[in-house]
């Protein structure tokens, strides 16, 4: 029994990482109506930026995390402004640019991987953070790096919740997510809100990258696996639903951890997709998903 609890605790903490990435994907989907396929690379860049801040500038871990989040968020805004938005110039905005946006996302993913390869090389880099002794929970010694993931993820999720629910800015972002025309006519600067939504989505991905860094190595390819799992998490929870993304991420983490513990660690990456297929069979809109939103 203790073994099960241990696996669940580890699953939940890794699940927080998936949840953060899935949250970013869902946020971008709800705000811009695009599925951002370069989000794994944003996560990877966040980890590299964090590593550079930590090693080259010798910043402590918390400022590293915060600064990496901000920098990657700004990078996201830049990518949205310079590249993605051009695709919407022909009119109709993001909603209409659909297929082109997906291809552009894949393209961006390849470009960012290669840029990272040029800058940092192909070798996995360690991200050694002296966190101190593991925390004893029952007979599980949970490394501090996992505790940090959980604490930081909860703080970020709560912060996002406050932003979206309690501030005028959040109200405007929600309005843009639901109906851009009406948001415009209410006086909201829609292009700015779109950039902001995209930037926050990227910032969440970067946070996940910096948090996973001390556990895994930081490397150019690290985004690919996480993107697919976060995507599975977002779909399991209900695509576009923010609570759903969190729930989906945690579920994927726990299922993966239990599968690795009881069945076989070799097939660790398979369990998330078994969960995905199961949820799609039982409730195609995802656990907390609503019916597809009707677009005018």
Residues engaged in binding other proteins (CB under 8 A):
91, 168, 171-172, 174-175, 178-179, 181-191, 296
Distance CA 223, CA 220 (A): 7
Q: Minimal distance in Å, beta carbon 98 to other proteins?
A: 16
Q: Which is nearer to other proteins, 1 or 168 (CB)?
A: 168
**Which tokens in the block code for residue 5?**
């609890």
Q: Minimal distance in Å, beta carbon 116 to other proteins?
A: 36
Q: Which is nearer to other proteins, 114 or 186 (CB)?
A: 186
Q: Which is nearer to other proteins, 190 or 215 (CB)?
A: 190
Q: Minimal distance in Å, beta carbon 21 to other proteins?
A: 24
Q: Which is nearer to other proteins, 181 or 269 (CB)?
A: 181
Among the listed residues 54, 62, 45, 60, the one whose alpha carbon sits nearest the alpha carbon of residue 209: 45
Query: What is the enclosing helix (H) or strand (E) of 21?
Result: helix 2-32
Residue pair 46/210 in contact by the 8 Å Cβ criterion: yes
Q: Minimal distance in Å, beta carbon 243 to other proteins?
A: 13
Residue with tokens 């690290």: 222
Q: Minimal distance in Å, beta carbon 296 to other proteins?
A: 8
Distances (CA, A) of 219 to 49, 144, 210: 12, 22, 12
Q: Which is nearer to other proteins, 179 or 216 (CB)?
A: 179
Residue pair 248/287 in contact by the 8 Å Cβ criterion: yes
């Amino acid at each position: 029994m203790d073994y099960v609890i241990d696996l669940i605790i580890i699953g939940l903490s890794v699940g927080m990482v998936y949840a953060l990435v899935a949250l970013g994907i869902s946020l971008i989907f709800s705000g811009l109506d695009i599925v951002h396929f370069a989000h794994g690379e944003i996560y990877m860049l966040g980890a590299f930026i964090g590593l550079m801040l930590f090693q080259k500038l010798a910043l402590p871990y918390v400022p590293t995390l915060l600064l990496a989040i901000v920098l990657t968020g700004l990078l996201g805004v830049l990518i949205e402004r310079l590249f993605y938005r051009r695709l919407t110039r022909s009119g109709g905005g993001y909603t209409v640019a659909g297929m082109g946006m997906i291809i552009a996302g894949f393209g961006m993913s390849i470009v960012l991987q290669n840029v990272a390869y040029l800058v940092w090389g192909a070798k996995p880099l360690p991200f050694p953070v002296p966190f101190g002794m593991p925390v004893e929970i029952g007979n599980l010694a949970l490394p501090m790096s996992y505790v940090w993931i959980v604490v930081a993820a909860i703080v970020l999720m709560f912060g996002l919740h406050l932003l979206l629910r309690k501030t005028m800015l959040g109200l405007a972002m929600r309005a843009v997510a639901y109906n851009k025309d009406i948001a415009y006519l209410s006086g909201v600067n829609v292009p700015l809100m779109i950039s902001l939504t995209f930037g926050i989505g990227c910032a969440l991905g970067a946070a996940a990258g910096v948090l996973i860094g001390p556990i895994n190595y930081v490397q150019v390819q690290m985004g690919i696996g996480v993107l697919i799992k976060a995507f599975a998490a977002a779909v399991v929870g209900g695509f576009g639903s923010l609570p759903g993304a969190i729930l989906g991420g945690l579920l994927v983490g726990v299922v993966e951890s239990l599968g690795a513990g009881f069945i076989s660690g070799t097939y660790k990456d398979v369990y998330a997709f078994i969960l995905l297929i199961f949820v799609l069979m039982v409730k195609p809109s995802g656990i907390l998903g609503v019916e597809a939103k009707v677009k005018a």
